Structure 1
């Protein structure tokens, strides 16, 4: 019985390529999860600041309705969905 070293080398190269592809996918998943975590952590702060700003405007101009945290959160999420992202490499 003889061993075909060319075939064995090709199989090893294919396994190495698959392992490198898997490593790249795991790295990309980590980056995406990190960005998502950052967005989800900063979202309540943005909504709170927006709510404070609208509250200050309401104090100065009575025609501006007051917003609670839930409404401010919905506005911030809606604006984030409508406005283009300023992330490097987006679109």
Structure 2
């Protein structure tokens, strides 16, 4: 499994207020999100990224299934395994 940084756009909902004005509704915008983790599944429709895993590879956690239509970019993360520097492609 390769390690990636995924930039994607998420929906925003407002369930805190029972009623909103038209202006408040028009001000809503999708939220840019960044997820880093290992790619578990990658196909034409979606990708699944696990942000936590055990060393044996049998357990995965913090899973995100991201539709390809909302993905802005995917950057492969370069990690040195001997405790060296980590290059995330850009600052987080």
TM-score by length of 1: 0.24
Work out which of the two has the higher radius of gyration on C-alpha atoms and give 1 or 2.
1
**TM-score normalised by L of structure 2:** 0.24
| Structure number having the greater strand percentage | 2
The structure, 1 or 2, with the larger RCO (C-alpha pairs under 8 Å, 6+ apart) is: 2
Greater helix proportion: 1
